[in-house]
Amino acid sequence: MTGKFRINGREYSIEFDPRDTLLTVLRENGFTEVKEGCSEGTCGACAVLLDGKVVNSCMVFAATAIGKEIITSKGLGDQNNPHPIQEAFAEVGAVQCGFCTPGFVISTFYLLQRNPDPTEDEIKKALDGNLCRCTGYVKIIEGVKLAAERMKNEKV
Amino acid sequence: MKKFKNVGKPVKKFDGVSLAVGAAKFTDDFELKDALHLSILYSPYAHAEIEDIDVSEALAVDGVVDVLTYQNVPQKLFTTAGQGYPEPSPYDSRILDRKVRFVGDRVAVVVAESKRIAEEAKKKIKVKYRVLEPIFDPERAMDDDAPMIPDPEAHMIIPAKYDPKRNLAAELDISYGDLEAGFEEADFIEEHTYRTHYGAHAMLEPHAAAAYIDEMGRLVVISTTQVPFHTRRILSMVLDIPLRKIRVIKPHLGGGFGGKQEIILEPLVALVTWRHQRPSKIVLSREEVFVSTRVRRSARLRLKTGVKKDGTITALEMDVLLNGGAYGTHGLTVLSNVGSKSLPMLNKVPAMRFFARSVYTNLPVAGAYRGYGATQAYFAINQQIDMIARKLGIDVLDYWKRIHIREGETSKIFELIGEGREGTPQLITSEHLDEAIDLGAKEIGWYDKRGKRIEVEKDKVRGVGMAVAMQGSGIPLIDMAAARMKMNDDGSFNLYVGATDIGTGSDTILAQIAAEVLQIPAEMIIVHSSDTDFTPFDTGAYASSTTYVSGGAVKKTAEKIKEQVLKVASEILDAPVDSLFLEDGKVIHRDTGRSVTFSEIALRSLYMENQFQIEATESYVGEISPPPFIAQFAEVEVDRRTGFVRVIKFVSAVDCGQPINPRLVEGQVEGAVMNGITWALTERYIFNQQGRMVNNNFGEYKIFTPPDMPEIVTIIVDSYEETGPFGAKSVAEVGINGPAPAIANAIYDAVGVRLFDLPFTPEKVYNALKATKN
Amino acid sequence: MEEFRWYYPNSIEEAVGLLELQGVVPHGGGTGIIRGKLDRYKGLISLEGLGLDYIKEVDGVVEIGATATYHDVIEFCSALYGECILAKSLSRAASTPLRNRITIGGSVAYFPIWSDLMGPLIALDATVSLVGKNEGEYPVKEFARNRSLKSHSLIKSVKFKRFNGFTYYHRAARTHFDYGSFNITMLASFDNGVFSDVRLVLVGSKAKFQRLSEIENGLIGRSPSDVDVSELIGRIYDSVEFHNTRIGSAEYTRSVALVEIERAVHASFKAMEEQK
């Protein structure tokens, strides 16, 4: 089947198998920043924003995302103009192997949109769908705090 | 503390932003046009022979290009262990074999135009198995009537005790001193048996490999490997492709922890691409990673210590049985490390015996895993010492300070046990364990909490426990690393290293080392790593070797560069080299203050006079392996009525020499700690009676997400290792050794029950509590 | 391989009509279907065009449309009133990204044994509204017991009376993000120092879900000082049975469940104390 998707602000017309997940469609069309870590909704490496809400793209049929707005980590920033969350993660050492990081960035973005000044407990709960095996999460939490701080100041 | 410009600074990991954005490419992110996709058929039996395999229906499926079985792939025996040559692991594996040895062993590989076709066609393969008796209990593996698991032709290529007919993968029996007299002399004997369990590396990126033929007809393999150079060597050997025709690239790698120090998928894609002259690719599913790759081997450790009333340990005997699963990869070396990384800690014990065996069973294959045997050993030792200290009525902190190895001392074990051969005598050149113990104790609030059994909420009791450990820094006189560096017009440098950054940040810290030598900002160094065509040799990312060994190579290389830079500068400034010094990207004349920039030096050497490329290549082999030391403290809360254990706080104080990058050091420790905590509490391989892992996904194999985290604190102890690059030792592995025993000791402190078997499921704690009540 | 297709009905009638097709099932959030075996189905019906993602409260009756997500419910309930049992239980279910996808309808349709939704719905005496062949309103317990009600019928919404009293939720699991081994929901109202209403539900036992009426009856009309809690718990010992669960053996799980039920009761005592 064919569907129109709005990915990172641009419209794409994509042909795909009706059983494909959004994850498969995104990766096969070059959005490799969306990572496949488990394909069962438990690792969060494939997290994207679907109409503004964080979802595991492996748990979404592409057919149900037609016509919707999809934002991946690359939609938030690039290497030369990173989003404050991406910058903060890199700065504090929240990125080790980095395979889980785009997913964490998306979950963090979703959190900070809704709650610009989260407590540590709120941060941890907001990241309850993301696994990381390298960092022990310490620096990731720190990265979220730093990003929140900077994003608040930017707005002022 | 020494003053540095780059070393010791939290320089931002070079690829951090690229990874956070998602631009950095991992193996599965490379677009290979018209690639063939592989799908593997696994054995449903733990032990069986293929009597007949019919692939005709699968081959007939539209889009299927090939089906690999033992009948049509090279049958050379090799080891999947990504180790140096000659490998200290048995040659007991084939790409595909007629016999299958665990549920998850490979039977056939379907090669098709798409993954979906390959997966569908796989279902059409008909296999007739002759089911053999499986062995799951390692204690039974060497019984006279036990069936032989390994290949009848399996062999070691180095001299070592190896008896495949008896399912013995490795054996060591090492001793010094008069053991009998030691035990005789003791006032009491403390003897216990400890059991540690299988563990999954659970790196977030599944194993993957891709291959293509380049424009010169050479074979290029991109893979999730911690050991690109070993991979190239082993591929050439197994597939009979000249090594010069193979290039192995490690792109960004999504975590390894030892699980990718193994040649698993590369032979498949290399074979398919070489045979069909087309690109090919395979990415494992999470289930496949759990079932068919590698695990931490389980261990049964019997530890016997003779102790005098004054606390002197008079003799120690450690009897170890490791379960290596269906193949012998890393068997001997992990076995060695159980002893060599742990027993030297107790170097004052006058008599020791280390008797250890690793056996084959029909369970998933054990490989390398962060800690590499030391983790299993410290689980036993730290609980044993806690028990002895309690019996003696002294604080375990004071007791450890009395018995642990110290700077300037040695242990006989260092020379007796090496890696598949005899060891290397060495003195401990830096050791700050006492400070680590003191700082950690202060942070956890040891003296306010130990033995206090504080009940914060009804029936929820808190306790504290601790553990100490050491590891190594590379394998002395075996691990070799090389680096190459060249200067560019603007005074920047390309640094080429074989060292394999698997997410640790080694590219960044190696640049910091080079930048320190040259007194330039680290961002003036552009690092290229792990490409067998373009970077010099390095054994790879294992054995905690990168900072110390690869770092040593980079430092030597940068020093050579420095000589050349000074030489050109002395021509420009017309001043003798010994009157010049480096600072902030300039060479300065000490007397006059006249200076010349690195860029001016580069431009002159490249374009103007006495032209030459400023460049150097150097190699480094460690003569010793200075251990990092760590003291780790856990505060737990035990629900006295349900047995649930929650870690409240976990503190590590580490002596890793001079940290090259303190943030990355903390990150290594924090990651290892979390891995160690979940291994102790929630991780578990659950097998059914047929030997099949039933919880092969993250939904059922539980590791923590952020809301499960305890407070984690990491303290870096002031230390300096004279033999290391700018004082550095390793840090990657040591942090995983303490969590399990520290938690066990803390549980005892809280509720008075001793847990000898991992993991500490709530039911085990509950049953132990019930047993003490009755 | 047979053609697999998606249907996008724009009305409930149209959706109900599609249920007649062989091997075609409704798609709520998809999280259950994706993880199952897809080759079982010939097609999926997207419910997105049906306008069933509403949540409303009219005269104290809360109605949640079938395609409202867990996230929507948590937001709605937390905003409407503080101590909402559904907000408590659902915010412990799955993970943030999954809660943005899992729908009430899909959850009710499958009701897995680890469901964090079932306990509260039973305690709230919720009803399930169906359209299609078995059109009507069914008590959630009946709906869960009688799986055939689902055939040729579509879940339209779930309704329950808003509850304002004491709420307690406990879920036994290995980690925060895990399938619960069992969960306990307790609702209670107090009147002049005695229990006027108690609803206690255990989900995950052999019975899958059970109202613990012995305890409910042992509390109603009494004040905490009149209650011998361990005697009360003793009364349900035989009726609370488990299979082996993720946290441990059947017998162990029972012991833990009994402890946690006792804790729920004590928490209600404490709440009553504080209310005074």
- Domain at A130, CATH number: 1.10.150.120
Task: State whether C179 and B641 contact (CB < 8 Å).
Answer: no
Architecture of domain B295-475+624-773: 2-Layer Sandwich (3.30)
Q: In 3-state terms, chain A is what percent helix, strand and coil (to 5)?
A: 40, 15, 40
Domain edges within chain C: 5-49, 51-161, 166-275
* Chain C residues with beta carbon closer than 8 angstroms to that of B702: 174-175, 178
Q: Are residues A62 and A92 in the same domain?
A: no
SS3 call for B97: coil
Omega before B86 within 30 of 0, i.e. cis:
yes
End-to-end CA distance of chain B: 56
Whether the CB-CB separation of A50 and A39 falls below 8 Å is answered with no
Using CB atoms, pick whichever of B702, B763, B766 lies closest to residue C175: B702
User: Which residues in chain C touch residue B674, judged by CB atoms under 8 angstroms apart?
Assistant: none
Provide the pLDDT for residue C39.
81
- Across-strand partners of C138? C128
Of A50, A54, A58, the CB nearest to C96: A54
CA B137 to the chain's CA centroid: 26
Q: Do A69 and A88 fall within a single domain?
A: no
B736: Cα within 13 Å, side-chain hemisphere: 27
Helix, strand, or coil here: B268? helix
User: Number of structural domains, chain A?
Assistant: 2
For residue B257, the chain A residues in CB contact (below 8 A) are 133
Option in A30, A90, A98 nearest B503 (CB): A98
CB B108 within 8 A of CB B125: yes
Instruction: Return d(Cα C189, Cα C171) in angstroms, integer.
Output: 22
- Say if residues C175 and B705 touch (Cβ distance below 8 Å): yes
Could you please report the per-residue DSSP string of B188-217?
EEEEEEEEE--EE---SSPPEEEEEE-TTS
Query: What b/e readout covers B465-479, taking b as 16+ CB neighbours within 10 angstroms?
Result: bbbbbbbbbbbbbbb
The residue-averaged pLDDT of C230-244 equals 96
Q: Tokens 């290009």, residue?
A: B65
Q: Which amino acid is at B627?
A: P
**CA nearest to A83 within chain B:** B21
Length of chain A: 156
Asked if C61 and C50 count as a contact pair (C-beta separation under 8 A), the reply is: no
Lowest mean pLDDT among B202-206, B441-445, B702-706, C18-22: C18-22
Across C268-276, average pLDDT: 92
For A19-29, write each residue's pLDDT tens digit.
Answer: 999 999 999 99
Report the gap between the CA of C57 and the closest CA in chain B (Å). 32
Grade residue C275 by pLDDT with cuts at 50, 70 and 90. confident
Q: Do C228 and C222 form a contact (C-beta atoms < 8 A)?
A: no
All residues of chain C having their beta carbon less than 8 Å from the beta carbon of residue A129 are: 94-98, 177
A9 close contact with C: CB closer than 8 A: no
Look at B285 and A39 and tell me if their CB atoms are within 8 Å. yes
Residue B313, CA distances (Å) to B142, B221, B350, B411 in order: 33, 53, 8, 15
Q: Which residue of B has its CA nearest to C254?
A: B642
Using alpha carbons, list the distances in angstroms from residue B52 to A123, B104, B362. 56, 18, 21
Phi and psi torsions of B145, nearest 5°: -95, 10
Task: State how far the Cα of A84 lies from the Cα of A63, in Å rounded to an integer.
Answer: 32
Q: Helix, strand or coil for residue A43? A: coil
The reply to whether residue B708 touches residue C256, judged by beta carbons under 8 angstroms, is: no
Report helix, strand or coil for B239. Answer: helix
Strands B295-296 and A47-50: unpaired
Over residues B427-444, mean pLDDT: 98
**pLDDT surpasses 90 at B1:** no
Preceding omega of B759 cis (within 30 degrees of 0):
yes
Amino acid (1-letter code) at residue C265 = V
- Contact between residue B493 and residue B485 where contact means Cβ atoms under 8 Å apart: yes
Contact assignment for C48 to A64 by CB distance below 8 Å? yes
Give the CATH number of domain B16-24+480-621: 3.30.365.10
Between chain B and chain C, the number of residue pairs with CB atoms below 8 A apart is 42
Same fold, B16-24+480-621 and B32-132+207-283: no
Q: SS3 sequence, B525-562?
A: EEEEECECCCCCCECCCCCCCHHHHHHHHHHHHHHHHH
Please say if the pLDDT value at position B419 is more than 90: no
Under 8 Å between Cβ of B317 and B346:
no
> In terms of CATH architecture, what is C51-161?
2-Layer Sandwich (3.30)
What is d(CA B222, CA B232) in angstroms, rounded to the nearest whole number? 11
Q: What is the pLDDT of residues C124-155, one digit of tens each?
A: 999 999 999 999 999 999 999 898 998 899 99
Across the interface, which of A1, A55, A64 has its CB nearest the CB of C97? Answer: A55
Q: Alpha carbon of B748 to those of B192, B394, B449, B680, B754: distances in Å?
A: 15, 16, 13, 14, 6
Chain B residues touching residue A82 (CB < 8 angstroms) = 17, 20-21
In a domain, A79, yes or no: no
From the CA of A10, how many Å to the nearest CA of chain C? 23
Q: For residue C97, what is the nearest residue in chain A, using CA coordinates?
A: A55
Of A145, A106, A147, A103, give the one whose Cα is nearest residue A124: A145
Could you tell me if B590 and B569 are in contact, meaning their C-beta atoms sit under 8 angstroms apart?
Answer: no
Question: Do residue B763 and residue C249 have CB atoms under 8 angstroms apart?
Answer: yes
For an interface test with A, give the residue of C5, C24, C74, C101 to mutate (most A CBs within 10 A).
C101
Statement: residue A119 has pLDDT above 60: yes
Distance, in Å, from the CA atom of B701 to the CA atom of B698, rounded to the nearest integer, reads 5
Q: By the CB < 8 Å criterion, does A115 face chain C? A: no
CB-closest option in A90, A140, A141 to B16? A90
Tokens 């084959």 found at:
B360
Per mean pLDDT, which range of A45-49, B26-30, B293-297, B539-543 is the poorest? B539-543
pLDDT at A46: 98
Distance CA B14, CA B503 (A): 11
Q: Are C257 and C184 in contact (CB under 8 A)?
A: yes
Residue A156 confidence (pLDDT) above 60:
no
Could you tell me if residue A139 is inside a domain? yes
In percent, the amount of chain B with pLDDT more than 90 equals: 98
Confidence of residue C100 (pLDDT cuts 50, 70, 90): very high
Tokens of residue B74, six digits:
């090279």
From the list B253, B673, B697, the residue facing A42 with the nearest CB is B697
- B674 at the A interface (CB within 8 A)? yes
Q: How far is B565 from chain A (nearest CA, A)?
A: 32
Say whether domain B32-132+207-283 belongs to CATH 3.40.47.10: no
The verdict on a CB contact (< 8 Å) between B642 and C256 is yes
Question: How far is the C-alpha of A126 from the C-alpha of A106, rounded, in Å?
Answer: 11
What does the pLDDT read at residue C268? Answer: 97
The residue of chain A with its CA nearest to that of C100 is A55
Q: Residue C97 is nearest to which of A1, A47, A61, comparing CB atoms?
A: A47
Structural domain includes residue A144:
yes
Other C-beta atoms closer than 10 Å to the C-beta of C5 total 13
Cβ count near B609 (within 10 Å): 9
Which of B296, B200, B188, B301 is CA-nearest to residue B756? B301
Residue of B78, B101, B91, B76 lying closest to B160 (CA atoms): B91
* Of residues B538, B368, B546, the one with CA closest to residue B474: B546
Nearest to C97 among A18, A63, A129 (CB): A129
Percent of all residues in chain C with a pLDDT value above 70, rounded to a whole number = 99
* pLDDT score at C114: 85
HEC sequence for B435-497: HHHHHHHHHHCHHHHCCCCCEEECCEEEEEEEEEEECCCCCCCCCEEEEEEEECCCCCEEEEE
Contact B502/A at CB under 8 A: yes
CB B624 within 8 A of CB B476: yes
- Chain C nearest-CA distance from B704, in A, is 7
B residues 675-714 closer than 8 Å to A (CB): 675, 697-699, 703-707, 709, 712, 714
Closest CA to B731 of B477, B552, B473: B473
pLDDT tens digit string along B129-150? 999 999 999 999 999 999 999 9
Predicted confidence (pLDDT) per residue in C148-201, tens digit:
998 899 999 999 999 999 999 999 999 999 999 999 999 999 999 999 999 999
Does B210 contact chain A (CB < 8 Å)? Answer: no
In angstroms, the CA C42 to CA C27 distance is: 12
Provide the residue ranges of all domains of chain B, joining segments of one domain with +: 16-24+480-621, 32-132+207-283, 295-475+624-773
Q: What's C51's DSSP letter?
A: T
Tokens 């262990």 belong to which residue?
B81
Q: Are strands B298-307 and B295-296 parallel, antiparallel or unpaired?
A: unpaired
Set of chain B residues whose Cβ sits within 8 Å of the Cβ of C256: 642-643, 762, 766
pLDDT band at residue C276 under the 50/70/90 scheme: confident
- CB-based contact C247 B705, cutoff 8 Å: no
Cβ contacts (< 8 Å) between A41 and chain C: which residues?
31, 34-35, 94-95, 97-98
Domain span including residue A67? 2-73
| A59 with C38: Cβ contact below 8 A | no
Kindly compute the dihedral angle of the four CA atoms of residues C246, C247, C250, C251, in this order, to the nearest 10 degrees: 180
Contact C176/B707, CB-based, under 8 Å?
yes
Say yes or no for a CB contact (<8 Å) between B642 and C1.
no
Residue window 137-196, chain C: list those with CB within 8 Å of chain A. Answer: 176-177
Domain C166-275: CATH superfamily is CO dehydrogenase flavoprotein, C-terminal domain (3.30.390.50)
Same domain, A39 and A88: no
Suggest the residue from C1, C96, C256 to mutate for an interface test with chain B (most B CBs closer than 10 A).
C256
Chain B residues within 8 A of C179 when measuring between CB atoms: 699-700
Q: CA-nearest residue of chain C to A63?
A: C6
User: Apex CA A101: angle with CA A100 and CA A105, to 5°?
Assistant: 130
Is C239 buried (19+), middle (13-18) or exposed (0-12) by CB count in 10 A?
middle
From chain B, the residues in CB contact with A74 under 8 A are: 21-23
A149, A152, A148, A127: which is closest to A138 by C-alpha? A127
